[in-house]
Amino acid sequence: MSFVSRYKTEILCGLTVALALVPEAVAFAFVAHVHPLVGLYAAFIVGLITALIGGRPGMISGATGALAVVMVSLVVTHGVEYLFAAVVLMGIIQIAAGALHLGKFIRLVPHPVMLGFVNGLAIVIFLAQLGQFKVPNDEGVKVWMQGMQLYTMLGLVGLTMLIIFGMSKVTKAVPAPLVGIAAVTGLVIAFDLDVPRVGDLAQIMGGLPQFSIPDVDLNLKTLEIILPYSIILAAIGLIESLLTLNLVAEITDTKGGASKECFAQGVANTVTGFFGGMGGCAMIGQSMINVSSGGRTRLSGISAALFLLSFILFAAPWIEVIPLAALVGVMFMVVIGTFAWSSFRIIHKIPLTDAFVLVLVSGVTVYSDLAVAVVVGVIVSALVYAWKSSQRIFAREEIDANGSKIYHLSGPLFFGSISSFNELFDPKQDPDDVVIDFLESRVWDHSGLQAIDALADKYESAGKKLHIRHLSEDCKVLLKKAGKLVEVSVIEDPEYGVAVDYSEEMRAAAKQS
């Protein structure tokens, strides 16, 4: 693709994303009980800064529902100024996470959790669009559309989806979602169709965001109020952003910088809090629109933010006439593209525990939020892994020429496998000299060291001698760190390389610990 073509594609992708950002930002502002401009300013500032310095070119950030549902309690209880202060502190926490390179821990998220994440997110995006099929009645209460209005809305949504699908097959020169939005908007204006439009949500005309220090008391009481919210917001924002980063990187077959993204999100939210924005994080839906439309560089994200600002400053009257049906159609296509349909094909082929995690994460995402779902999925996956690993420790026995019994241990020794480890030995029936060879085993934690010490004590009580051989280098490090908690004497053995003979002093020291 030529430079000019790439330049044009990136800018048009940015315009498409900006159009989709408007109703989302307004809707999330309503959820958080703040003015629509607070959501739009956040979408502009967070989107611009993360596009400039983020770890994943082409990824879109802005105000999100996952953060809005946490913010509402703080706003209702203490007011919007406390929200701005919490967003600033949230950003500082995220900057610290980036500086400490905590983003690398996102690699611990298993693939079933990722599948559950995208599936649950697709469902959440779909359900969020259903609210656009409601209109206020005479009492001001929103009710489901009926009759011709509903049929018209559904027809326009379907038409938008059909145009996007068809255009994506015909040409990549112009983003298909942008064509769909433009065509349906023109149709609605030409025939003056009675369907909800962006202007029905809120008036988006405004000025430039103004710098302002949050109007809160700078004392420990304020910190006590906002700190819990800031920590939760920072965690949710980073988890959602890093998972989106991984997803976009997988789709585009490129790499992203996790810690760099943490830092960028932190800077963006810190600045947003000082300019009257509600904060934000990566937006999977808009990121998918951008990527599927051809956006691959920082220019698309920068363009989206600048277009959004121009809507606020100059183009609000034109943007407000866009029918919500067109934007719903775009988001429905995002749902189709986001959902991992392969899940249905592989669900019966993968391990039952992985299938359970996939479904669990999807369900928790819909019921609660993305961050909670991912944490639950990782914890369950870790417990499953620990349980399976605890069953993989065994020993091969032999008697050498000197009459000593040798246990050739295999598998990991850690807190989960201690019971299985103890069942391998019989101090009462074993000969007077026993060797445990760790050549094919590893001690993972202090619980494993204590298990070895307790076993040595059993052999000592039976009047027998226990040797520990071929301890790994990482185990030696654990022994050194344990210090007096588990005292052992490590000596070189010409035959076995490393041996540990348990002395009376070692056992006495271990008992004291």
pLDDT of residue 124: 84
pLDDT of residue 79: 95
Q: Which domain holds residue 482?
A: 394-512
User: Same structural domain for residues 230 and 302?
Assistant: yes
Sorted by sequence, the CB contacts under 8 Å of residue 485 that are 6+ apart come out as: 446, 449, 510, 513
User: Same structural domain for residues 327 and 436?
Assistant: no
User: Same structural domain for residues 414 and 318?
Assistant: no
User: Same structural domain for residues 322 and 424?
Assistant: no
407 DSSP β-pair partners: 397, 436
Task: Encode burial over 433-461: b for 16+ CB neighbours within 10 A, e otherwise.
Answer: bbbbbbeebbbbebebbbbbbebbbebbe
Domain boundary among 342, 361, 380: 361
Is the residue at 203 inside a domain?
no
User: Same structural domain for residues 415 and 308?
Assistant: no
| Mean pLDDT, residues 431-440 taken together | 89
| Mean pLDDT, residues 39-49 taken together | 97
Q: CA 208, 210, 216, 217: dihedral to nearest 10 degrees?
A: 170
CB atoms within 10 A of CB 80: 19
- Distance CA(273)–CA(268), nearest Å, equals 9
Is the residue at 81 inside a domain?
yes
User: Same structural domain for residues 357 and 407?
Assistant: no
- Distance CA(293)–CA(285), nearest Å, equals 12
pLDDT band at 492 (very low <50, low <70, confident <90, very high): very low
Query: For the segment 87-104, what is each residue's pLDDT rounded down to a tens digit?
Result: 999 999 999 999 999 988
Sorted by sequence, the CB contacts under 8 Å of residue 42 that are 6+ apart come out as: 25, 62, 63, 272, 277, 278, 279, 280
User: Same structural domain for residues 398 and 357?
Assistant: no
Query: For the segment 236-264, what is each residue's pLDDT rounded down to a tens digit?
Result: 899 989 989 988 888 888 888 999 999 99
Domain boundary among 339, 361, 383: 361
Is the residue at 372 inside a domain?
no
Among 83, 65, 85, 88, which residue's Cα sits nearest to residue 73? 83
User: Same structural domain for residues 38 and 175?
Assistant: yes
| Mean pLDDT, residues 9-29 taken together | 91
Query: For the segment 295-354, what is each residue's pLDDT rounded down to a tens digit?
Result: 989 999 999 999 999 999 999 999 999 999 999 998 898 889 888 898 998 998 899 999
How many residues are recorded in the chain?
513
Give the 3-state secondary structure of residue 282: strand
**Which of 75-84, 271-280, 346-355 bottoms out in mean pLDDT, i.e. has the lowest?**
346-355
Q: Where are the beta strands (DSSP E) in 102-211?
A: 134-136, 142-144
User: Same structural domain for residues 417 and 318?
Assistant: no
Domain boundary among 361, 385, 419: 361
Is the residue at 378 inside a domain?
no
Furthest CA-CA distance within the chain = 99
Backbone φ, ψ for residue 455 (5° rounding): -65, -40
Query: What kind and span of H or E run contains 201?
Result: helix 198-201
Q: How many domains does the chain have?
A: 2
Is the residue at 210 inside a domain?
no
**CATH number for position 409:** 3.30.750.24
User: Same structural domain for residues 322 and 415?
Assistant: no
